[in-house]
Amino acid sequence: MDSVLIYGASGHGKVILDCLEATAIKVAGFIDDDVKKERFLGHHVYRSSKIHSKDIKVVFAIGDNRIRKQLASNSQWDSPIVIHPSALVSSRTSIAQGTVLFHNAIVQSGSKIGAHCIINTNASVDHDCVLEDFVHISPGVTLCGNVSVGESTWIGAGSTVIPGIKIGKNVIIGAGAVVVKNIPDNVLVVGNPARIIKKLSPNN
């Protein structure tokens, strides 16, 4: 694979850098418009306005689903799939462009992962799950079999979702929640069992 740029010179970018280095993919630098630094972890930091070529590959290292979606949707750059070597991924899965699997993530047989998703450290996605685009599965999350997760949903660290559950779009699930019922679009849920505590704007 050609060298890639990482969009986001912060904490999330650090971990993606580790993933890329572990797969021997050359990192050409970072892109970041929100920091004044010129160097980050030994790499040059470019401003997006200075990147004129469309023939580059960019990984969007932005944890916030809304911002990652906005940047990726307005981009004409290609985004590779990045999978840390310690991740376990069934050959009977499909993973779309721009998605990143961190250290020790698991994706089991029959699952379908959309574009620009994050499957974070030690997260487990069991068989026949469907994750739409821009989903963020935080560290230590367990999705049991046949779970579906709507676009731009964020599942907090250590949460568990029992088999067959359908989670809507633009949902935030608080850390440590246990989801035992279907969840509609645009809500914040917390607790064990998880319950809705707030409605969210579709653009939240």
Q: How many CB atoms lie within 10 A of CB 149?
A: 29
> Does 174 share its domain with 100?
yes
Q: The domain spanning residue 116 has which CATH number?
A: 2.160.10.10
What pLDDT does residue 56 have?
A: 86
Q: The domain spanning residue 49 has which CATH number?
A: 3.40.50.20
User: Domain of 153?
Assistant: 82-195
Q: Would residue 103 show up in a list of annotated catalytic residues for this protein?
A: no
What pLDDT does residue 76 have?
A: 85
> Does 91 share its domain with 164?
yes
What pLDDT does residue 48 have?
A: 86
CA distance 4 to 10: 16
Number of structural domains, the chain?
2
> Does 68 share its domain with 92?
no
Local confidence pLDDT in tens for the 204 residues of the chain:
468 999 999 999 999 999 999 998 889 999 998 877 889 999 999 998 888 777 789 999 999 999 999 999 988 899 999 999 999 999 999 999 999 999 999 999 999 999 999 999 999 999 999 999 999 999 999 999 999 999 999 999 999 999 999 999 999 999 999 999 999 999 999 999 999 999 998 875
Tell whether 51 is covered by a domain: yes
Which of the following is catalytic: 12, 84, 116, 127? 127
